[in-house]
Amino acid sequence: MAKLSFAATVAAFAEKVPGAVEAVFKESVHDVTEEMLKPTGAGGRMRVDTGFLRASALASTTAMPTIKSQSGPVAGQNYAFDFGQIEAVILGADVNDTIYVGFTAGYAVHREFGANGQAPDAFVRSAAQQWQGIVNQKASELKRRLGL
């Protein structure tokens, strides 16, 4: 018997379970975003000194959040991260939407790609590269939970 492609497997699964594709989509976006924002101290790639970069993360279904070139942390201040805005966008998205997650911190690109002799952190690119594996994992988890 021929092995089904991933797309065919997901399509067959989606026919059996209404809402399955949407659930896998939203859970996968959530997990990729969490991976992107995971601090180095928790095994991620994002350096968190003041928390400003992480706190500047926003999500949208209409456009990539705009970097504010002059924005940066105030000396001596720490910034708390709240996943709430991103989670609200993910939950409100349709499976056909593109979900953009980006940063407003002026130095976000420098941290991602490196600058001034510092190595790149690549927190966005490394998370994005995990997309297919996360989708596969989420589909498998949902199948298990549903007994399929």
* Per-residue model confidence as pLDDT tens digits over 16-39: 666 788 989 999 999 999 999 999
- Structure tokens of 59? 């999500």
What is the arithmetic mean of pLDDT over 116-131?
A: 95
Query: What DSSP string runs through the chain?
Result: -PPPPHHHHHHHHHHHSTTHHHHHHHHHHHHHHHHHT-BGGGTSSB--SSSHHHHTEEEESSSPPPP-TT--PPTT------THHHHHHHHH--TTS--EEEE--TTHHHHHH--TTPPP--HHHHHHTTHHHHHHHHHHHHHHHHT-
- Structure tokens of 12? 């067959």
Residue 1 has pLDDT above 50, yes or no: no
- Structure tokens of 128? 């994005």
- Structure tokens of 53? 């970069």
* Per-residue model confidence as pLDDT tens digits over 48-102: 999 999 999 999 999 999 999 999 999 999 999 999 999 999 999 999 999 999 9
